Chain A
Amino acid sequence: MSAFYNTFERHSHGEGLKGHSTHYCPGCGHGLAHKFLAESIDELGIQDRTIAISPVGCSVFLYYYMDVGNSQAAHGRAPAVAIGHKMANPNSIVVSYQGDGDLASIGLAEIISAAQMGLPISVIFVNNAIYGMTGGQMAPTTLKGMKTMTSPYGRNENMGSPLKMAELIAQMDSPIYVERVALFDSKQRIRAKKAIKKALQIQVENKGFSFVEVLAECPTHLHLSPSDAQDWVKNSMLPVFPLGVKKDVEPTHIFSFEKPSFESAKLLSLIGATAEDVPKFADTFPKHIDPLDISLKLAGSGGDGAQTAALLITRTAINEGFDSTHIPSYGPESRGGTSYADVHIAEMEVLSPSAPDPHILIAFNQPSMDKFAPKVRENGIIIGDSTVIHTMPAIDPTVKIVMVPMSAIATELGKIMVKNVVALGALQAATGLFPEQSFLTAIQQGLKDKKELFPLNVEAFHRGMEAALKSEKI
């Protein structure tokens, strides 16, 4: 009994002899590895749960034969595909069956990361020291001096050395079982079968990642008879790829996965959706600034709180029932350099979200003032931190300037971080964009779990308002 199909319908539509024989050359090791896998699946009673991943190589047609779920993957990507399947259904038993070109060359990143990730999947790695499907080219496991189609004079020093995958995988932390087996005689075959079954058993028990390297014969591309190919593996491969258990440890934990939740209340609470009504305080859109669309730019150093203040303005506008957007400058600039944010507020819909010529500029430092003040449009308003800004660039004569010692006030209040709230207070008093209560409501919302900081923020806001009313130009 085994997990093979009764008829290989996928092999040339099951016609003629192909319905019951493999596509492999006489003496190929793949057939044996398939057989041991099929027997193990049957013996463990996991045929319904098993998913076999067959990537590119001679074993790409594994799905012709194995009566399980089958997924055929791109060259080298089988471990990633295996993880995708395992995570979709942790109850499935996922086997990644890969050749040496697939696993040890093009798919190195996938196998190494999957092994160290340690998720419970089983990898069967068939190493025959050569590329079979493409016709006998050099593999990463090709022996030194070995002649192949792409090392016609023998693998020399410039072509590196054979890669010992079992040893490589075994030295990592996460895999729990790694063994190298062979197929060249009855004893090795019995061991190979046992190892493959054990690799699956470990997955059945949710213990973790298992890896079996199978030294296999490729008589065709070794240009040897099947019998001589067996001898070649024994005599030539074994000294380079010693057999045996490379790692066999008890797992530190047993994997278990919950079924995904589709509980709507939980989801809505996670994404911050709220059915609560937010009070409105503004009677109309602040048409005194612009009838349709108001743009603001907030600029400072990273850490000045320009982005937070911008978001608070956006939140205030949305609470009042208008449309609003905030777009930050980001990237290296947001890591300590100039940080600026563009905000739009529209009665109906924000169209262009950037603010190249804002109605209102809030500048937290001198470079920001120098850079953006000249761009503020006619009859606009500039609000600056007079603690740190001492000179003004040339600006449109109709622009109103309101200087407020934001840093000094915040320092006085004992928390420099509230500098941006001082700025918001100044903005409110200087522009009448929205009523005081609108801003304070948004600030309260923004504080979320840190409600105890609200009184300090209210004070900072009020100090900003007062300072703006007393403001004098530089």
Chain B
Amino acid sequence: MPNSRENLLPAVDPAYCKGCARCIDACLHNCIEMGNEINPLTGLTPVILHLEDCTHCGLCVTACPEPYGLHMDSITDDYSAVRPETFDGVVKTRPKAASIPSTKIPIDPGKPILIKGTYASSIGAVLAGCRHFYGYPITPSTEGAELMAKLLPNLDGIFIQAVSEVAAINMLYGTGGAGLPCMTFTSSPGFSLMLEGISYMIGSEVPSVIVNIMRGGPGLGNIAPEQSDLKLVCHGLGHGNTQCVVLAPATPQEMLDLTMLAFDLTFKYRNPVIIIGDGYLGQITGKVSLPDYMIQPGLPDWAVYGDAGHRGNLIASIDITEPDLEARNIRLNHKYDTMIKAEQRSDSFFCEDAEILLVAMNTPAQMAKGAVQQLRSEGVKVGLFRPITAWPFPVDALAKLIPQIRQIVVVEASNGQLEDEIRLSLSKAGVTQLPPISFVRRFGGILPQTHEIVEKIHALEGVVA
């Protein structure tokens, strides 16, 4: 401070002076000169003070860029002996905030409601305590955002249409970093733009829920359903060693249920959770039952919330020294391992005695269910294995079925991305004796249809229709 205080004089510990000489230029009385001795601790040459003509103006202190460089100190002390620890006196201890857990509020779920898949997800989010939404319009996910724009102002929540998906994901980074539940809806091209932010969130351990209603690609593609972001969500969430729990609902009901689960998991692991739907699932209207509770979120102790209890907290993904960054990676990997053990989810349909196993997710799984029903009526022993978590892939449940299966048929709206997940996860699980794997694949916005699946099975060796 440039206050003239008669009892104070500038002082500097040579070890904290970098010798930039800004103070020399600032002093009106030539009290400071460049030193001529290199400080052995810093390798730099600190300034020397001659305070005979000092007017206590403090301009030199204002010129010093170092927090613990030049400072005004008591005239009675020997300035060279001053240590930074004494500047602020006693180290203040502040009470650290304890984590406030979220609370379950019982509600009367009433009758099932009739809503779109994206709406079901929005409703799941508000029931899970989400009051912050940031997004950018993109078909076929936009209705979810539109419903949030309608609901949140009435709940004194925040809806912001960001300048881009890049900005939207970083707004989530802010609110998630502040410890509050938040979400976005996007679709494939927008999801690509969010990957940078998702990598930062994973690195910084920031929770948030990202719903990707996948559409046809690559590039601008089209707005019809596809499942070709699977490799991104399972193996390409931005740069670095990144994983998220990825939930794959198949019905509007699951859009609601899994969105609520996503908010639970994102705080449980301090890691983003991705929900993948397909364009069809986003648009489909169906019957949805509400849960018998809603969530009022708490506030975690680690949050950068902007109050006394959370003051010392840091949200960051940078570790400039290698051992620190390795330690962060090991910690994250440990978390991923926990997710692999605890979060595998799947659904089996007529799998008990199945010899032919369909594997499908999202809406194609519904198409496959239709095929199973039809084929079973013909006496074909076929079942459907439906991963609900795309990552971690529910390999434990699948591996148990493998010995009884003589043929796997992967039904997907992508060029084999689900098949790759199956092969990779079985291989990692040590399942080496695989039955033949064939597929029904459509892309470009066309989903595999029930009759195509039935035809595929009919054409298999040993199947009599």
Contact = CB atoms under 8 A, between A and B. Distances in A.
Interface string B101-144: 00001111111111000000001001101011010000110000
A82 interface: yes
A17 interface: yes
Interface residues of B, number: 117
B373 A318 contact: no
Contacts of A189: 26, 62-63
Interface stretch (A171-179, A321-329, A458-466): A321-329
Contacts of A293: 370
Nearest to A315: B114
Given A83-B160, A259-B156, A311-B285, A77 B197 contact: yes
A266 B305 CA distance: 27
A70 B316 contact: yes
A268 B110 CA distance: 9
A26 B113 contact: no
A356 B20 contact: no
Interface string A327-341: 110110000000000
Interface string B1-18: 110000000000001101
Interface residues of A, number: 116
A7 B25 contact: no
Given A113-B163, A268-B107, A22 B67 contact: yes
B22 A84 contact: no
Given A7-B85, A85-B174, A318-B287, A74 B200 contact: yes
A331 B223 contact: yes
Nearest to A275: B110
A110 B167 contact: yes
A50 interface: yes
A88 B310 contact: no
Contacts of B173: 71, 73-74, 77, 80-81, 84
Interface centre among A19, A80, A193, A324 (most CB of B within 10 A): A80
Contacts of A274: 110-111, 113
A27 B160 contact: no
A439 B165 CA distance: 43
Contact of A70 (B111, B315, B317): B315
Given A77-B197, A276-B110, A276-B111, 8 more contacts: A71-B177, A77-B170, A84-B174, A92-B306, A112-B163, A325-B252, A351-B366, A352-B369
The 7 closest A-B pairs by CB, nearest first: A84-B174, A92-B306, A31-B65, A88-B178, A352-B370, A113-B163, A72-B316
18 contacts: A4-B67, A20-B16, A22-B65, A26-B44, A31-B64, A61-B320, A70-B313, A80-B173, A89-B307, A113-B167, A226-B20, A257-B156, A264-B106, A271-B126, A325-B252, A325-B285, A327-B284, A352-B369
Interface of A: 1-2, 4, 6-7, 10, 12, 16-17, 19-22, 24-32, 34-35, 38-39, 47-51, 53, 60-61, 63, 65, 67-74, 77, 79-89, 91-94, 109-110, 112-113, 117, 185-186, 189-190, 193, 219, 225-227, 230, 257-262, 264, 266-268, 270-278, 292-293, 311, 314-315, 318, 323-328, 330-331, 349-354, 356-357
